[in-house]
Amino acid sequence: MICSGINAATGEPIAVECTETIRSVRADETAPKDVFLAAGFVDLQVNGFAGVDFNSPAQTAEQNVAEIGRAIDAILATGVTRCLPTVITGPPDQMLASLKNLRRAQTALPRGRAIAGFHVEGPHIDAADGPRGAHLAECVRPPDPDEFQRWQDATDGNIRLVTLSPHWPGAPQYIAALVRSGVAASIGHTGANAAQIAAAVDAGATLSTHLGNAAPRLLPKIQNCLWDQLADDRLSASFIADGLHLGEAFFRAALRAKGPERTVLVTDAAAPAGATPGRYRLGELDVELTQDGRVLLAGTEKLAGSALRMPQAITNAVRIGGLSLADAVRAATVNPARLIHLKSRAGFGLRDGDRGDIVVFRMTETIEIDAVYLDGVRIA
């Protein structure tokens, strides 16, 4: 396969030749000037898509694999070629069943390799209103190494990211154990104090999950859990850039604090993403996609995930956040890949030897996807 356009990472006209991996990237002055090429997007947090809830353990194995496959195909069409399906706080047996279903899909689906592993968001979060977000209070519980090992056993060692609050006693030891096993630890859904956050980072935490969301509603103005995470250069931060979860001023300031190398864009997409307005499920919760694109806990005004797609997140990072296109693409490609140690995706942009995951797009009012390649094969 050969495709040409403007390298979104460098602004240079190029032609890319690839099979399963990129064989060559060369200058091409004949490349179209209105077409951009980028490495396939990487989404570290997606709870569902196209009406499919990744947190559902209810269907038969065959039904579940087929439904997850439908969602993965829809995600691929948005340019996300590697993602972490995300299981949120729930009863232990149901979280385990959801992970088993996702692992079964990862191994059985023809495009299951697009599933780069799994993100467990909770249940070791702050149970207080505000930090807990839409997660079920009765299912919040402290870090448990044995439960983590059950997740790993259910997924054949494919847990890649765990989000927890560092306020729990023993959290640093738990984080250190995650990191020793090759799993990234992220701070999220927390009202932890400065000492607790510092201890988590000292233990090896490297990310803040959807920073600016799932925090106490009222915070001290001088020192609080948001400032403490923004100020620590050892932490990258993920953001839900849908124009709903974050105010513009905070988003722009947070991007400046983290800089282009430590900014990660996630969708936090739930089942309603890519679907029509109406009611859907998110694990044990009923959620509703409104006409204006919000995903709410049914019957409330509380956000419960998003309907965001990664091209829109990149567009908003440019138009609202003030990032260059190159830095916004970086936040959706190399930065998340680095955090989860995704093989053959270390280069900023397109590089010889990287995976043949390529997105071809145009940039008008928003990013419009022209083509998506997975391991060198066009799939959208």
Residues recognised as catalytic: 268
**At 119, phi and psi to the nearest 5?**
-110, 125
32-to-14, 198, 266, 326, 373 alpha-carbon distances in Å:
9, 48, 29, 18, 18
Q: Are 189 and 209 in contact (CB under 8 A)?
A: yes
Distance from CA of residue 158 to its chain's centroid?
Answer: 16
Angstrom distance (rounded) from CA 289 to CA 291 = 7
Q: Which of 203, 370, 238, 39 is nearest to 380 (CA)?
A: 370
Q: Are 369 and 359 in contact (CB under 8 A)?
A: yes
Quick one: CA dihedral 273, 57, 131, 234, positive or negative? Answer: negative
242-to-208, 239, 247, 343, 362 alpha-carbon distances in Å:
18, 9, 10, 28, 20
Length of the chain: 380
- If 0-12 CB within 10 Å is exposed, 13-18 middle and 19+ buried, where does residue 228 land? buried
Identity of the amino acid at 13 = P
Angstrom distance (rounded) from CA 58 to CA 219 = 39
Angstrom distance (rounded) from CA 178 to CA 204 = 9
Q: Are 269 and 263 in contact (CB under 8 A)?
A: no
The strand ranges marked E within 188-273 are 207-208, 236-240, 263-266
Q: Which two tokens stand for residue 209?
A: 């999950």
Q: Are 226 and 285 in contact (CB under 8 A)?
A: no
Instruction: Indicate the SS3 state at residue 125.
Output: coil
